[in-house]
Each structure stands twice: as structure tokens, then as C-alpha cells.
Amino acid sequence: TSSESVLKSNFGILACVWLIGVVAMIIYSIISYYRITKKVKESAVLKGNIWLCDYIQTPFIIGFIKPRIYIPSNINETDIDYVIAHEQAHIKRKDHWWKPLGFLLLTIHWFNPILWMAYIMMCKDIESACDEKVIKDKGLEIKKAYSNALINCSMPRKMVSACPLAFGETAVKSRIKSVLNYKKPALWIIILSFVIC
């Protein structure tokens, strides 16, 4: 009976700790979202769902139902086409849904280091997939110019976040290496990968 009561009290303590962690993650994501939306309140429409903003350092997408692409107003003219193509690739792939969903899973399992690793790797994969899509669509000859756009729009990522999907915040160095070394995969590699999956 005493061991059962100890187990129950320990379970209650652990449940409280878990709940505090979940609430902290939710509060953090709400504050982050509020800060971003406050920054982009004063923005001007460039075209369609693309907006220019003076108070941001890197391009990103925000919004779930009607996602908007926000671009710094001081962006280099040579970079803007690549940045827009990259952000539009995110929207086509529904990454503005997948990333918050991943963060929701991380919020529930905040105590699990494997989930933290998985979320960080998912964010890197999301960005790399969009980089590849842009190069595939626009041609291999844009690799250097696209890498320059990544460097010009890069900024340090201090914390893990649910949103936004930012162009130059995730693993910029490894993304540039991947972009410069990108080759269209051979048909047999695609077939083999499909069979293995």
C-alpha cells in the first residue's frame, strides 16, 4: 500500500511538471507569434500575397488559412526572385501547416530529446526541400546566385519556434553546401529509393 501511494504521488508530481512544460511552450509560441504580427503590422503590398516590411531582417511566411510572404523592404533586387520562389514553394508544400503541427507534437512531448532532434531536423529538411525545388524549377545555373541570396538573407536563429517559416534562419551553411553540390538524381536512384521506402 505504501509503495502504491508513493507511485501515485510521484505520478502526480510528474504530471504537474509535464503540464507546466506544456503551458510554458504554449505561452512561448503565443508570445513569438504576437511579436511577429506586431512587427509586420506596417507592411505594404508588393503583389498578391507578397508584402514588404521595414522591421524584419529575413523573409518569412505567416498565416495558416491565407499565408502571406513578408520580405524585408531593403532586400537586394537580385535576391528577390529567388526568395519569392522559395517562399512560394513552402506554400505549395503546405509547410505553414506542417511546421506548427510539428511544434504541437513537440509541445506535448517537450520532455523527450528525440522529439527535439526530430523537430530541428524537420525544420532543416523543410528548408532544404524548398531550396531543391527552386533550383530544379529555375535550373542548375542559378546555384551561385541562390547561395548568395541565402547569405544575404541569413540571420542567427536563437530559439526553436513554431513559426514563421523564415528564409535565412535554418542551417544556412549546410544549405549552401547542398545547393552548390545539388545534382538532379538519376532515375535509377529515384526508383531504388521508392522501392526501399
> Among positive and negative, which fits the CA dihedral 158, 26, 91, 34?
negative
pLDDT in the model for residue 136 = 86
Q: How many CB atoms lie within 10 A of CB 93?
A: 15
Question: For residues 87 and 59, is the Cβ–Cβ distance under 8 A?
Answer: yes
Q: Give the Cα-Cα-Cα angle 24, 14, 123 (nearest 5 degrees).
A: 45
Question: For residues 51 and 37, is the Cβ–Cβ distance under 8 A?
Answer: no
pLDDT in the model for residue 78 = 84
pLDDT in the model for residue 64 = 87
Has this prediction a pTM greater than 0.85? Answer: no
- pLDDT profile of the chain (197 residues), mean per 10: 69 91 94 90 91 90 91 88 92 92 94 93 89 86 84 67 57 67 70 84
pLDDT in the model for residue 30 = 92
pLDDT in the model for residue 193 = 80
Helices (H), 50-186: 77-92, 95-108, 113-138, 143-152, 172-180
